[in-house]
Chain A
Amino acid sequence: MLVLGPIGFLAPVVLWGLLALPVLWWLLRAVPPAPVRRRFPGVALMLGLADRDAETARTPWWLLLLRLGALGLAILGFAGPVLDPEARLPGRDPVLYVLEGSWTDARDWGARTERLAALLEGSARAGQPASVVVLTDPPVAGSPLFQAAAEAQGRVAGLRPNPWLPADAAAWARTLEGRFETVWFVSGIDWPGRAETLEALAARGPVRLIGGNAPLIALAPAVFAEGRIALGAQSLPPSGVPAEVVARGPDPNGTERDLARIALAFDAEGAASAELDLPPEIRNRIARFAVSGVQSAAAVSLGDDSLRRRKVALLSGAATGDETLELLAPLHYLRQALAPSADLLDGALLESLAARPDVVILADVARLGEAEAEALGAWVEGGGLLVRFAGPRLARSDAGRAEADPLLPVRLREGGRSVGGAMSWGEPRALAPFAEGTPFAGLAIPAEVTVSAQVLAQPDPDLPARTIAALADGTPLVTRAALGEGQVVLYHVTANAEWSTLPLSGLFVQMLERLAVSLRSARPDAAELEGTLWTPVQVLDAFGRPGDAGRLAAVDGARLGAALAMGETARDLPPGIYASGERRIALNVVGEETALRPARWPVGTTVEEIAIPPERGLKGIALALALGLVALDALASLALGGRLRGAVAAQFGGVLLGGALLGGALLIGPSASRAQDSADAYAIRATPGFVLAHVLTGDAEVDAITARGLEGLGRVLERRTSIEPGPPVGVDLERDPIDFFTILYWPVTVDAPLPSAEAYARLGRYLRAGGMIVFDTRDDDLAAGGVATPEQARLRALAAPLDIPPLEPVPEDHVLTRTFYLLSDFPGRHPRTTVWVEAAPPEADRAEGVPFRTLNDGVTPVVIGGGDWAGAWAVDDLGMPILPVGRGPAGERQREFAYRFGVNLVMHVLTGNYKSDQVHVPALLERLGQ
């Protein structure tokens, strides 16, 4: 990058092109603009005419300047000019670029390396030696540090943060010698040794601090308490933006999925907490929590045993319902020990096994049924853990006496022994320290734990190997044997305090944990993990991405335990999941006790913003200017060459303007106006006066017959009444507005599609506004009492979403029977149809001597029947019926009545209950012959 004053060039090589400009000047001057060729008969008179001015052959100077300007601007543009380029460090001292490179940097690592690259670019330009150091991975002390900045540049892309804090940075910084400047990308988070490192670096030269202000969100390990998962998080600096925590884990198929999500809102101090209540099945599958959208190990909290609960099946040899004291119950102490951290299964063994427990504990069970023993054996061989406790029953039984019982790790001697009792020969025995290599290694043995009675193992050759805990005199106390993929563990004492005080001590619980019988929810401390070896099975990188642990060495339990609280990860103790046998412990970079503290710098230190100060690229502007000049040049050349005349220019402008207008019109105009046109045309067609409308079913034949039927009814109406309907209109319920119509004839077909919700909304509006729908299932010839025809079923489906009032068959005194003709039934093509209309209110009463009730309100919104009236009404263009009705004269009479029903129907729609009015009673009475 070349910098001239406030403008820098990203590709200064291109600027050499400016040297070519004088050459271009000469070339352009030498070559006049291209001549126009014209066919012109008058040339015969021109021969020999000399040009007045020889200079016009040359390109005019201003055109030359224009072209040179355009080219110069283009060259400048391609050279990548930027305004206010990244400020450079003064001086030629070596520069040490320091990245903390821990998980605290991961959230904005990209911005850091980008800025670092920009700074290195500056160093390379200035010829400063430079070095890039990641504090979490400092170079070997004493090795040559500085190199050419260009070489350091190559390393930037490969730099990665590490998921631990730069613990030994201060020690390394003190080994540095010589004078150099330091540019330190700070994370804003305090870490041990930070101040000392600064001091050491400041002793070598000026230190420039660059840091971001993106909040660091640290997710504390999830804690399982009282059936809920408690999540906590800190944000530094406090952020008002709520974070979302995602619990991820395998689904039953093993695919990793989001199992749960919960929002975390940070308070003013930057703390947030939330509780998650999940069913155990899901909870046990959670592999980790992560703040979504944040790439940082701090935002990831791995789940371990503390989130899991094992299913433990408890089975006691004692008869249930024993009226023994609770404290003497064989399972009491086990329950107490396991209840907080495990799900306990009670019940018969076979049922418990069906629930797929992780552990089965048999307390003083001597004999199992054959089926039970077989099932249990198969379960253990499949990976189960069987823990047995001895007791009086086991001691008395002959289980595992003569030959090894597969469900007992050792053969037992008859009788057992009792020590320290009244009849015994000695003191109750204490426990010997747990040997290295046993699951209990490292556990402290309280002095008060004594054993007074036990069952004894046969001294078989493999007894020492199977003994994992022994008494001080060497008698095996806990033995273990593998069986298939599982194992069988035998406590040679009882599970209650009868034979030993072990169940009374905390050691009992710890031993169960070591055996992974229970998984404890509280974080273990160093003492509890003493003596165990933990192998990393999954490690996190600084970005919070899980990775394979590979061949990382196992770590000592004590060290792991000590690191858990504060998340003290290190190169040889990376965050991740550590396993020891069946147990899993997660080491996160943020421990339960980790508190993020902002880094405090000495007074007078400023921390620069990490974002590269805005360099305004001028490339676009320069190129645009160059293009503009080229366009000007084109115009000027045309003018000079005589090709540009006013008319041409005007035409050109006109074409441009016209194109723009046309484009705009094309974009906006047609669709809207076309829709408007068709809607208007439809409205005009639908409202010439009164119009009969029918619903288009999509069945072409039905639609045609219906249209012809309404046409026929229209003719009858026109001839006999004062109603003169226009041509019938077919209505597409999805598309057409139906508000124009007073009556809608709806033939029901079996395969009619259900209208959309929108169409139903329109239909509902139509009915509420006083419209009438005549449903015609056209199937009364097929209808048999009580069984719905397919059309009727379809009608029910069609009409279900409509707001249809209660219906009744047309009563004798319904106004429909007398709106124009006096009718007693309403045949269509099928005689004797039942027509359903809105039910009359029950309180309507009949006046004395009047043949109908006083029903003064309302037109029925629906008329439902199956007479196929439209079929009976249908006529061709000559007015002749299309479909046959009945036979002979009787059929014709039926058709006549069908027409009369149609007339009454339309009259009813148009006049409402007018004929119900009492005024007509005398005339009607007369006509009814009463």
Chain B
Amino acid sequence: MMAAPAAPSRTAEAEALGAALPALLVASDQLAATVALGGHGRRRAGLGDAFWQYRPAQPADPARMIDWRRSARGDQTFVREREAETAQTVMLWIDRSRAMAFTGAPSRPPKAERAALLGLALGALMLRAGERVGLMAEGGAGADPAAARRAAPRSGRAQLLRLAEAGDAPDPAEYGAPAPAGLAAHGQAVLISDFLGPFAPVAALLEQAAAQGVRGALVQILDPAEEDLPFAGRTIFESMGGAMRHETRSAADLRALYGDRLAARRAELDLAARRAGFVVTTHRTDAPAAQVLLWLWRMLDGAR
């Protein structure tokens, strides 16, 4: 449903938080459980728990590094190397702007709800895999550059709760834009939004990500109504905050033109993402969330 973006009273907020968070956490956990945890080592020797290889001991190797059990089988001494498992920083941006509160039908969740679910499930997966997960803040005109992150990247199970809390606050802006300073260098970034708003902030972020060696994924969440424009007749379309409006005499005639615009936006997004080494997918809120989560996991895993 179209949640009112206005901040409710503190108590009500707390109550809503307390009520929604566990449900959201449970849902995200359930969603995360559908994805089988695969290996996520760094494919090279390093600090870690998993066995990587035995290699002949070099003179520089300290004696305690020698795997005596393996070495005892032959004359050569071996060193047991473990796979490097450097924890990586994954920054999430979950669009909480007003536009995300839209749903085209009561049977479908608002885009924001789906985005939060997806983000938290991904966060849960990443945390479980030992990554550090943080939440980027909104950028845009009025945003505070200092508060580029809603939640600093940390690892551990408790971080999930912080993510959920931090991600619950809505963004009063019409359309969301990620804060450019929120990225962690050489980390990963996942941006979940409808990408219907101004494209420049997104393009800027992607450019910066490319510069900082950050890669990741973009998930465009769209309501089916936003793709199909199932309206007819004389209509005044208003943005969710009412700031923008467009009047048409026949909404049905607008469908094709709107479809063209949407396709153009996707192409734009695709191009910018590819340049920055990001992958893009579009998720409709009437499709199951597990599908896109699996895709995300595979893409991020592969990106490592």
A residues contacting B by CB (< 8 A) are 32-47, 49, 51-54, 56-57, 640-643
A45, B239: Cβ atoms under 8 Å?
A: no
- Chain A residues with CB under 8 Å of B30's CB are none
- Chain A residues with CB under 8 Å of B244's CB are 43-44, 47
- Chain A residues with CB under 8 Å of B175's CB are 41, 44
- Chain B residues with CB under 8 Å of A640's CB are 233-234
B265, A45: Cβ atoms under 8 Å?
A: yes
B239, A43: Cβ atoms under 8 Å?
A: yes
Nearest CB in chain A to that of B244: its residue: A43
How far apart are the CA atoms of A49 and B259 in the complex, in Å? 12
Contact of A49 among B2, B100, B226, B248 (CB under 8 A): B248
How far apart are the CA atoms of A643 and B229 in the complex, in Å? 14
Contact of A642 among B198, B225, B233 (CB under 8 A): B233
**Are A43 and B238 also in contact (CB < 8 A) when A38-B231, A642-B232 are?**
yes
B235, A53: Cβ atoms under 8 Å?
A: no
How far apart are the CA atoms of A51 and B254 in the complex, in Å? 7
A49, B257: Cβ atoms under 8 Å?
A: yes
B258 sits at the interface (CB 8 A): yes
A49 to chain B, nearest CB (A): 5
B127 to chain A, nearest CB (A): 31
B17 sits at the interface (CB 8 A): no
B197 sits at the interface (CB 8 A): yes
Report B51-73 CB contacts with A as 1/0, cut-off 8 Å.
00000000000000000000000
A42, B226: Cβ atoms under 8 Å?
A: yes
How far apart are the CA atoms of A57 and B175 in the complex, in Å? 31
How far apart are the CA atoms of A783 and B1 in the complex, in Å? 85
- Chain A residues with CB under 8 Å of B257's CB are 46, 49
B240, A41: Cβ atoms under 8 Å?
A: yes
**Are A42 and B233 also in contact (CB < 8 A) when A47-B246, A56-B249 are?**
no
How far apart are the CA atoms of A46 and B260 in the complex, in Å? 10
Nearest CB in chain A to that of B227: its residue: A42
B246, A49: Cβ atoms under 8 Å?
A: yes
- Chain A residues with CB under 8 Å of B234's CB are 32-36, 56-57, 640-642
B247 sits at the interface (CB 8 A): yes
How far apart are the CA atoms of A36 and B239 in the complex, in Å? 14
Report B174-191 CB contacts with A as 1/0, cut-off 8 Å.
010000000000000000
**Are A41 and B249 also in contact (CB < 8 A) when A46-B261, A56-B234, A640-B233 are?**
no
- Chain A residues with CB under 8 Å of B235's CB are 35-38, 642
How far apart are the CA atoms of A43 and B254 in the complex, in Å? 11
Given contacts A42-B237, A51-B254, 17 further A-B contacts (CB under 8 A): A37-B236, A40-B225, A41-B99, A41-B240, A42-B229, A44-B175, A44-B197, A51-B249, A52-B253, A53-B249, A53-B250, A56-B249, A640-B234, A642-B232, A642-B235, A642-B251, A642-B252
How far apart are the CA atoms of A53 and B250 in the complex, in Å? 8
Contact of B239 among A33, A39, A49 (CB under 8 A): A39
How far apart are the CA atoms of A37 and B237 in the complex, in Å? 6
How far apart are the CA atoms of A689 and B245 in the complex, in Å? 80
B2 to chain A, nearest CB (A): 7
Q: Provide 26 A-B residue pairs closer than 8 Å at the C-beta atoms, listed in order of the A residue.
A: A33-B233, A33-B234, A35-B234, A39-B2, A40-B226, A40-B238, A41-B98, A41-B196, A41-B239, A42-B226, A42-B237, A42-B262, A43-B245, A44-B196, A44-B198, A44-B239, A45-B196, A47-B244, A47-B246, A49-B257, A51-B248, A53-B249, A56-B249, A56-B250, A642-B231, A643-B233
How far apart are the CA atoms of A54 and B249 in the complex, in Å? 8
B194 sits at the interface (CB 8 A): yes
Report B191-203 CB contacts with A as 1/0, cut-off 8 Å.
0001011100000
B102 sits at the interface (CB 8 A): yes
How far apart are the CA atoms of A34 and B99 in the complex, in Å? 25
How far apart are the CA atoms of A44 and B194 in the complex, in Å? 11
- Chain A residues with CB under 8 Å of B197's CB are 44
- Chain A residues with CB under 8 Å of B261's CB are 45-46, 49
Please give me the 8 A-B residue pairs with the lowest Cβ-Cβ distance, nearest first.
A642-B233, A41-B99, A642-B232, A45-B261, A35-B234, A43-B237, A56-B249, A46-B246
How far apart are the CA atoms of A72 and B258 in the complex, in Å? 42
A888 to chain B, nearest CB (A): 75
- Chain A residues with CB under 8 Å of B238's CB are 37-40, 43
- Name, among A36, A38, A41, the residue most crowded by chain B CB atoms within 10 Å (CB to CB): A41
A contact face: mostly helix, strand, loop, or mixed:
loop
How far apart are the CA atoms of A35 and B247 in the complex, in Å? 8
- Chain B residues with CB under 8 Å of A643's CB are 233
- Chain B residues with CB under 8 Å of A51's CB are 248-250, 253-254
Nearest CB in chain A to that of B222: its residue: A42
How far apart are the CA atoms of A49 and B257 in the complex, in Å? 7
B243 to chain A, nearest CB (A): 10
Nearest CB in chain A to that of B257: its residue: A49
A316 to chain B, nearest CB (A): 115
How far apart are the CA atoms of A817 and B251 in the complex, in Å? 100
A34 to chain B, nearest CB (A): 8
How far apart are the CA atoms of A340 and B216 in the complex, in Å? 135
- Chain A residues with CB under 8 Å of B225's CB are 40, 42
| Interfacial residues of chain B within 84-133, with CB under 8 A of chain A in the complex | 98-100, 102
How far apart are the CA atoms of A831 and B168 in the complex, in Å? 89
- Chain A residues with CB under 8 Å of B254's CB are 46, 49, 51
A171 to chain B, nearest CB (A): 82
Nearest CB in chain A to that of B223: its residue: A41
A42, B250: Cβ atoms under 8 Å?
A: no
A45, B262: Cβ atoms under 8 Å?
A: yes
A339 to chain B, nearest CB (A): 104
Report B152-189 CB contacts with A as 1/0, cut-off 8 Å.
00000000000000000000000100000000000000
| Interfacial residues of chain B within 18-37, with CB under 8 A of chain A in the complex | none
Contact of A40 among B100, B239, B247, B253 (CB under 8 A): B239
Contact of B249 among A32, A44, A46 (CB under 8 A): A32
A45, B258: Cβ atoms under 8 Å?
A: yes
B1 to chain A, nearest CB (A): 12
Nearest CB in chain A to that of B253: its residue: A52
B250, A36: Cβ atoms under 8 Å?
A: no
- Chain B residues with CB under 8 Å of A32's CB are 234, 249
- Chain A residues with CB under 8 Å of B249's CB are 32, 51, 53-54, 56-57
B238 to chain A, nearest CB (A): 5
How far apart are the CA atoms of A641 and B231 in the complex, in Å? 10
Nearest CB in chain B to that of A57: its residue: B249
Nearest CB in chain A to that of B100: its residue: A41
- Chain A residues with CB under 8 Å of B196's CB are 41-42, 44-45
- Chain A residues with CB under 8 Å of B226's CB are 40-42
- Name, among B2, B197, B238, B246, the residue most crowded by chain A CB atoms within 10 Å (CB to CB): B246
How far apart are the CA atoms of A42 and B245 in the complex, in Å? 10
How far apart are the CA atoms of A51 and B257 in the complex, in Å? 10
How far apart are the CA atoms of A740 and B10 in the complex, in Å? 71
How far apart are the CA atoms of A379 and B257 in the complex, in Å? 119
**Are A38 and B236 also in contact (CB < 8 A) when A45-B196, A51-B254 are?**
yes
- Chain B residues with CB under 8 Å of A54's CB are 249
B169 to chain A, nearest CB (A): 19
How far apart are the CA atoms of A38 and B247 in the complex, in Å? 10
How far apart are the CA atoms of A39 and B231 in the complex, in Å? 12
B233, A641: Cβ atoms under 8 Å?
A: yes
B250, A46: Cβ atoms under 8 Å?
A: no
B146 to chain A, nearest CB (A): 28
How far apart are the CA atoms of A45 and B239 in the complex, in Å? 11
A46, B233: Cβ atoms under 8 Å?
A: no
- Chain A residues with CB under 8 Å of B242's CB are 39
- Name, among A34, A37, A54, the residue most crowded by chain B CB atoms within 10 Å (CB to CB): A37
Contact of A36 among B100, B236, B246, B262 (CB under 8 A): B236
A22 to chain B, nearest CB (A): 25
- Name, among A32, A44, A47, A54, the residue most crowded by chain B CB atoms within 10 Å (CB to CB): A44
Report B264-291 CB contacts with A as 1/0, cut-off 8 Å.
0100000000000000000000000000
Nearest CB in chain A to that of B175: its residue: A44
How far apart are the CA atoms of A643 and B251 in the complex, in Å? 12
How far apart are the CA atoms of A39 and B246 in the complex, in Å? 10
Nearest CB in chain B to that of A642: its residue: B233
